[in-house]
């Protein structure tokens, strides 16, 4: 797989990790990334650090606040591990800040509303620094979509795992989704409701990612409906069709919330209850 594909999902070559922080000056005098020295960024004016000769095959996952080494990333004997760790942490924090802000922007304006320059300006970073982290707008869009997916899982899916499978868990999922859209978790409400319309007729990696996320969500709904029917909690039904219908209602509810309909949550609950009718 090409490096660009890894970077789109949040991977960075260890020798390419940069410090991109507000207050650091770039070569053009703007805030953002400093010069690269031995593959690592440093603020302008700082004396050159010794090259660490880190093997470039090592990858790091830095998506949405998580940073897990893939393989042996230990520097050679004698290298300053503390300096290396601080630089990795700063790079991960900056990437997390950029991606999380971009999720909010995309929830309001769609993924097409994102640009490297706009995010740099919003966060007081240099455009070249942001571009170094993501490379292309498409890579940025994919990283943002994956971050939104993880935050959605954390807020909606993970908290209901203690509920009994079937009808009870589906109701809990509905409540979590209502809170996700109504509060909302992202500034513009449902991330996928804002982003999918821009890409549903545009084949490519971004559409593939968004489509997979939507299908995964429908599969979760269908699995709970199927379990409820198989265990006798509800009457037999077409679980995939019902999941499609519930997902459509949720997208409509997101729009209603944005337009100030305070009763949209109750409408969702009534629809869910209609699918959870006990068998006669």
Structure tokens at 155: 């807020």
Average pLDDT over all residues of the chain? 79
Query: Is 60 part of any domain?
Result: yes
Query: Is 155 part of any domain?
Result: no
Choosing from 137, 169, 197, the residue where a domain stops is 137
The verdict on 132 and 181 lying in the same domain is no
More confident residue, 18 or 167: 167
Q: For residue 6, what pLDDT is reported?
A: 41
User: How many of the other CB atoms lie within 10 Å of CB of 103?
Assistant: 27
Q: For residue 62, what are the CA distances in angstroms to 5, 9, 29, 198, 258?
A: 14, 8, 27, 26, 32
The verdict on 95 and 176 lying in the same domain is no
Query: Looking at 84-88, 107-111, 193-197, which range is the least confident one?
Result: 84-88
Number of structural domains found in the chain: 2
Choosing from 137, 169, 193, the residue where a domain stops is 137
User: How many of the other CB atoms lie within 10 Å of CB of 1?
Assistant: 7
> Does residue 2 carry a pLDDT above 90?
no
Distance between CA 114 and CA 152 in Å, rounded?
20
> Does residue 204 carry a pLDDT above 70?
yes
More confident residue, 90 or 133: 133
Confidence tier at 34 by pLDDT (50, 70, 90) = very low
Confidence tier at 88 by pLDDT (50, 70, 90) = confident
The pTM of the full predicted model, rounded to 2 decimals, is 0.71
Domain that holds residue 65: 3-137
Q: For residue 87, what pLDDT is reported?
A: 72
Q: For residue 92, what pLDDT is reported?
A: 80
């Amino acid at each position: 797989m090409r490096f660009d594909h890894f970077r789109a999902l949040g991977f960075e070559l260890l020798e390419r990790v940069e410090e991109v922080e507000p207050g650091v000056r770039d070569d053009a005098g703007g805030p953002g990334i400093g010069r690269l020295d031995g593959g690592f960024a440093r603020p302008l004016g700082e004396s050159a650090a010794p090259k660490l000769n880190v093997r470039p095959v090592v990858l790091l996952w830095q998506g949405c606040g998580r940073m897990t080494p893939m393989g042996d990333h230990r520097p050679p004997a004698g290298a300053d591990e503390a300096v290396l760790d601080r630089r990795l942490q700063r790079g991960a924090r900056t990437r997390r800040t950029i991606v999380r802000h971009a999720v909010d922007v995309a929830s309001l304006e769609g993924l097409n509303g994102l640009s490297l320059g706009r995010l740099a300006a919003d966060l007081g970073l240099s455009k070249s620094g942001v571009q170094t982290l993501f490379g292309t707008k498409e890579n940025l869009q994919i990283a943002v979509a994956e971050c939104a997916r993880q935050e959605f899982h954390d807020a909606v899916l993970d908290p209901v795992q203690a509920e009994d499978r079937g009808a009870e868990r589906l109701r809990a999922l509905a409540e979590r989704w209502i809170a996700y859209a109504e509060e909302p978790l992202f500034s513009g409400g449902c991330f996928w409701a804002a982003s999918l319309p821009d890409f549903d007729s545009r084949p490519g990696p971004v559409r593939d990612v968004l489509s997979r996320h939507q299908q995964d969500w429908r599969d979760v709904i269908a699995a709970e409906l199927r379990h409820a029917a198989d265990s006798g909690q509800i009457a037999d039904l077409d679980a995939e069709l019902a999941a499609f219908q519930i997902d459509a209602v949720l997208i409509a509810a997101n729009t209603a919330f944005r337009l100030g309909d305070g009763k949209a949550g109750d409408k969702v609950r009534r629809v869910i209850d209609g699918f959870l009718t006990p068998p006669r």
